[in-house]
A and B are shown apart, each in its own frame.
Chain A
Amino acid sequence: MQLPLKTRILQYAIERGTEFSLNDVMKDLKKEYEGERIFNKKQIEEYFQSFVGVEFFTATRYDFDADGEIVTYCRVTDYGRQRSKYLPIKQKAF
Chain B
Amino acid sequence: MDATTITPEEAYRQKKIKMATSGMKIALLMPITAIIQNIFNTSVTGTVSSNLSDKVIVSVICSITLLAMCDIFAGIFTFIYNVYKGKGIKEYRRTTHLKISWMMLISAAFGGPIATGCWMAATPFCGLTTVAIITSLGPILTAIISRFFLKESLNSRIYLGIVIVIVGVIVSGWSGYSGGGSNFVLGCILALMAPIGFSLEGQFSTYAGDIIDPNVGCGFYRCFGSGILGIVFMAILSAATGNMAAYSSIFHQVFASPILLIFVIAMGLLGAINYNCAYLAFNRTGPSRTLAIDSSRPIWSIPLGFLFAALGVTEYSVATLGVVGAVIVVAGLLLVISKPSELVNLRNVS
A residues with a Cβ closer than 8 A to B are: 1-7, 10, 36-40, 43, 47, 49-50, 52-56, 59, 62-64, 68-70, 72, 77-79, 83, 86-87
Q: Is the CB of B3 within 8 A of A64?
A: yes
Q: Is the CB of A68 within 8 A of B20?
A: no
Q: Is the CB of B210 within 8 A of A4?
A: no
Give the most central of B9, B20, B213: most A CB within 10 Å.
Answer: B213
Q: Which of B15, B86, B97, B284 contacts A70 (CB 8 A)?
A: B15
Q: Is the CB of B86 within 8 A of A37?
A: yes
A-B CB proximity, top 9 nearest: A37-B86, A62-B8, A38-B86, A79-B349, A86-B100, A70-B11, A64-B3, A4-B94, A68-B3
With A6-B213, A79-B349 already in contact, 5 other A-B pairs whose C-beta atoms are closer than 8 Å: A4-B101, A4-B216, A40-B86, A53-B16, A55-B347
Q: How far is the CB of A21 from chain B (nearest CB, A)?
A: 12
Q: Chain B residues near A40: list those with CB within 8 A.
A: 86
Residue of B nearest to A70 (CB): B11
Q: Chain A residues near B3: list those with CB within 8 A.
A: 64, 68
Interface membership of B1, Cβ < 8 A? yes
Q: Is the CB of B283 within 8 A of A63?
A: no
CB under 8 Å from chain A, chain B span 324-350: 345-347, 349
CB under 8 Å from chain A, chain B span 296-316: none
Q: Which of A37, A50, A62 contacts B9 (CB 8 A)?
A: A62
Contacts A6-B212, A77-B349; is A69 near B98 (CB within 8 Å)?
A: no
CB under 8 Å from chain A, chain B span 81-116: 85-87, 90-91, 94-95, 97-101
Q: Is the CB of B211 within 8 A of A64?
A: no
Q: How far is the CB of A26 from chain B (nearest CB, A)?
A: 15
Residue of B nearest to A59 (CB): B12
Q: Chain B residues near A43: list those with CB within 8 A.
A: 85-86
Residue of B nearest to A52 (CB): B16
Q: How far is the CA of A62 from the CA of B16 in the complex (A)?
A: 13
Interface membership of B19, Cβ < 8 A? yes
Residue of A nearest to B207 (CB): A83
Interface membership of B54, Cβ < 8 A? no
Q: Is the CB of A68 within 8 A of B2?
A: yes
Give the most central of A7, A54, A55, A59: most B CB within 10 Å.
Answer: A54
Q: Which of A7, A37, A59, A78 contacts B211 (CB 8 A)?
A: A7
Residue of B nearest to A10 (CB): B211
Q: Is the CB of B11 within 8 A of A4?
A: no
Q: How far is the CA of A40 from the CA of B85 in the complex (A)?
A: 10
Q: Chain B residues near A70: list those with CB within 8 A.
A: 1, 8, 11-12, 15
Q: Is the CB of A2 within 8 A of B94?
A: yes
Contact flags B7-40 to A (C-beta < 8 A → 1, else 0) = 0110110011001100000000000000000000
Residue of A nearest to B99 (CB): A86
Q: Is the CB of A53 within 8 A of B94?
A: no
Q: How far is the CA of A2 from the CA of B9 in the complex (A)?
A: 35
Q: Is the CB of B19 within 8 A of A5?
A: no
Q: How far is the CA of A19 from the CA of B42 in the complex (A)?
A: 54
Can you list 10 A-B pairs with a CB-CB distance of less than 8 A? A3-B98, A39-B86, A47-B213, A53-B20, A53-B283, A56-B210, A62-B11, A79-B151, A83-B210, A87-B211
Q: Chain A residues near B16: list those with CB within 8 A.
A: 49, 52-53
Q: Is the CB of B347 within 8 A of A4?
A: no
Q: Is the CB of B349 within 8 A of A55?
A: yes
Q: Is the CB of B11 within 8 A of A54?
A: no
Q: Is the CB of B15 within 8 A of A49?
A: yes
Q: Is the CB of A54 within 8 A of B346?
A: yes
Q: Is the CB of B19 within 8 A of A50?
A: yes
Q: Is the CB of B98 within 8 A of A7?
A: yes
Q: How far is the CB of A74 from chain B (nearest CB, A)?
A: 10
Q: How far is the CB of B110 from chain A (nearest CB, A)?
A: 20
Q: How far is the CA of A55 from the CA of B210 in the complex (A)?
A: 10
